[in-house]
């Protein structure tokens, strides 16, 4: 909601790289609801840390994507950050707002996107 309030009338993209399989599994519903105000959402692979093999098989970004889609969100799963940057380079239009958040080096998507569009 904060981004929507700051940028009324703009198309808002959100790129999210979840941190930890176990955290993503436990917060699945909350994460899914939190993206309802974005126009377009892209999930990267989960940034793994301290997760057991069980956790890695019990949760993945595709499951998060499917749950988020049930909330009416236009969401895609693109595993690799480089591929996300390429997709955004083709899809983002002047005036769009792109927000990157999460763990790992997801912030690199923003820097690379600016370089590609610059």
Q: Domain 12-113 maps to which CATH number in 3.30.1960.10, 3.30.428.10, 3.90.190.20, 3.50.50.60? A: 3.90.190.20
Alpha-carbon span 34 to 16, nearest angstrom: 11
Residue of higher predicted confidence among 29 and 104: 29
Q: How many CB atoms are located within 10 Å of the residue 115 CB? A: 10
Contact 68, 31 (CB under 8 A): yes
pLDDT score for 101:
96
Is the pLDDT reported for residue 35 higher than 80?
Answer: yes
Q: What is this structure's pTM?
A: 0.94
Alpha-carbon span 92 to 77, nearest angstrom: 17
Q: Could you identify the residue written with the tokens 């790289």?
A: 17
């Amino acid at each position: 909601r904060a981004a929507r309030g700051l940028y009324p009338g703009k198309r808002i993209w959100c790129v999210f790289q979840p941190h930890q399989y176990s955290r993503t599994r436990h917060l699945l519903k909350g994460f899914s609801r939190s993206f309802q105000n974005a126009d377009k959402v892209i999930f990267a692979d989960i940034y793994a840390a301290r997760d057991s093999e069980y956790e890695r098989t019990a949760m993945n970004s595709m499951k998060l994507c499917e749950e988020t889609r049930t909330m009416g969100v236009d969401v895609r799963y693109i595993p690799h950050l480089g591929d996300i940057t390429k997709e955004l380079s083709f899809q983002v239009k002047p005036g769009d707002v792109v927000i990157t958040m999460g763990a790992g080096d997801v912030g690199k998507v923003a820097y690379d996107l600016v370089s590609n569009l610059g």
